[in-house]
Amino acid sequence: MINTNCSKCHTEHSMVSEVSPLILEQIKVKVKKTGIKKPIEEITKGADFCKKKDKYIDRTMVIDREHDQYYEKIVDHSINEVLHECRELLSQHIGHGSAKIRKCKSKTKI
């Protein structure tokens, strides 16, 4: 609460100021098994910045290598809309992220 003196009526007025901070969190969990190099399960949940939309969205991603499962759900809470949802076999989830096929820029001399 902020108290201010009014220069017009010479009385004290109280103002209530409400501040709502934006708290963004993301949690990542990796489950490992002895003797296996890669984690058998990876879970990511929380805020992620979407360059395409230029704002933060809520992203849930589960990679389960042991059961060959991939799940991803992206939600824009500001408009209450599911932007993307994908559930498929991990072995079928190719051509995304670091698994994208990149164009080779080779310089050949003739």
Question: Which pLDDT value is given to residue 5?
Answer: 66
The count of domains in the chain is 1
The answer to whether residue 28 sits within a structural domain is yes
The answer to whether residue 8 sits within a structural domain is no
pTM, 2 dp: 0.67
The answer to whether residue 34 sits within a structural domain is yes
**Spatial contact of 40 and 64, defined as CB atoms under 8 Å apart:** yes
Question: Which pLDDT value is given to residue 106?
Answer: 54
The answer to whether residue 45 sits within a structural domain is yes
Positions in the chain short of pLDDT 50: 110
The answer to whether residue 15 sits within a structural domain is no
Spatial separation of the C-alpha atoms in residues 52 and 54, rounded to whole Å: 6
Structural domain including 41 reads 20-99
Question: Which pLDDT value is given to residue 30?
Answer: 96
The answer to whether residue 3 sits within a structural domain is no
The per-residue pLDDT for range 76-94, each reduced to its tens digit, is: 988 889 999 999 999 988 8
Question: Which pLDDT value is given to residue 53?
Answer: 86
The answer to whether residue 33 sits within a structural domain is yes
The answer to whether residue 51 sits within a structural domain is yes
The DSSP code sequence of 24-70 is --EEEEEE--TT-SS-SEEEEEEEEEETTTTEEEEEEEEEETTTTEE
Question: Which pLDDT value is given to residue 94?
Answer: 80
